[in-house]
């Protein structure tokens, strides 16, 4: 397979990761990093952050060890700002706000949100009604915990459409409807603001959903710098 290359810099590359592909090798003969390195004709690329296998969208990969170290620092200091899109059939307990709490391991590889706040996961969110029983969520994680957004959505009473781990009573879907839509960061003094719409999934193509995405100002501002 070939990846969509959304932005190429001498020190890093931003690609569109399709849903259903792991950023790790898993059981595949070749992993994402090896496939991408072959595609762009370099010996190696460095994975500097992760997306769940079920999540689509923007993924940064470094092209040298120095930039990999710099991106690791930027992510650790929460200086790379991410915006995700999600869909749910369920109306949330509140339409917007913060979801804060410690995360602890639960059963079957899942996590759960706790009321304690010793080292909490923090997510800012807002939601819009697309049509009866279908809501679009804009999620801005302030921390980077495993399954953070999926757990946050479940805690709101709005499990993500198609998320079989955290929404076991939701109907089976063609994908999990979580998408990494926008990245904003500064690298070596230059500001970057990259946005991309989700490509896979029937529900993303609904006119009511596309209209709400287009109405949100971040897609007007998000751009690929020249």
**Tens place of pLDDT per residue across the chain (226 aa):** 899 999 999 999 999 999 999 998 665 557 999 999 999 999 999 999 999 999 999 999 999 999 999 999 999 999 999 999 999 999 999 999 999 999 999 988 899 999 999 999 999 999 999 999 999 999 999 998 999 999 999 999 999 999 999 998 778 899 999 999 999 999 999 999 999 999 999 999 999 999 999 887 666 554 544 3
Residue 89 lies in a domain: yes
Active-site residues, by number, are 52
Residue for token pair 């999600």: 86
221: in domain: no
Asked whether the beta carbons of 188 and 72 are under 8 A apart, the reply is no
What pLDDT shows up at residue 84?
97
Phi, psi of 32 (to 5 degrees): -60, -45
Distance of CA 128 to the CA centre of its chain: 18
Question: Rounded CA gap, 163 and 159, in Å?
Answer: 7
Is 223 contained in some domain?
no
Which residue reads 């495993």 in tokens? Answer: 146
Work out how many domains the chain is built from and give that number: 1
**Is 219 among the domain residues?**
no
Residue 32 lies in a domain: yes
CATH of the domain at 146: 3.30.2350.10
Q: How do residues 52-72 score in pLDDT, each as one tens digit? A: 999 999 999 999 999 999 999
Q: What is the pLDDT of residues 138-163, one digit of tens each?
A: 999 999 899 999 999 999 999 999 99
Task: Identify the domain containing residue 187 by its residue range.
Answer: 4-214
Q: Which residue has the tokens 């109405």?
A: 215
Question: Looking at residue 25, what is its pLDDT?
Answer: 67
């Amino acid at each position: 397979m070939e990846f969509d290359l959304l932005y190429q810099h001498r020190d890093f590359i931003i690609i569109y990761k399709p849903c259903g592909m792991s950023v790790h090798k898993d059981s595949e003969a070749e992993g994402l990093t090896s496939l991408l390195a072959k595609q762009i004709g370099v010996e190696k690329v460095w994975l500097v952050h992760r997306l769940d296998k079920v999540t689509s969208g923007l993924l940064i990969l470094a092209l040298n060890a120095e930039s990999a170290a710099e991106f690791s620092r930027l992510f650790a200091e929460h200086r790379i700002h991410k915006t995700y899109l999600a869909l749910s059939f369920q109306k949330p307990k509140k339409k917007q706000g913060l979801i804060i709490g410690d995360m602890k391991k639960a059963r079957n590889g899942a996590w759960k949100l706790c009321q304690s706040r010793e080292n909490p996961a923090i997510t800012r969110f807002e939601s819009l009604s697309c049509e009866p029983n279908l809501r679009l969520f804009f999620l801005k994680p302030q921390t980077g915990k495993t399954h953070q957004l999926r757990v946050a959505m479940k805690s709101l009473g709005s499990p993500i459409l198609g998320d079989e781990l955290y929404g076991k009573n939701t109907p089976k879907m063609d994908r999990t409807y979580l998408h990494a839509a926008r990245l904003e960061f500064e690298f070596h003094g230059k500001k970057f603001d990259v946005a991309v719409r989700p490509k896979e999934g029937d529900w993303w193509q609904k006119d009511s959903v596309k209209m709400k995405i287009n109405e949100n100002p971040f897609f007007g501002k998000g751009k690929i710098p020249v």
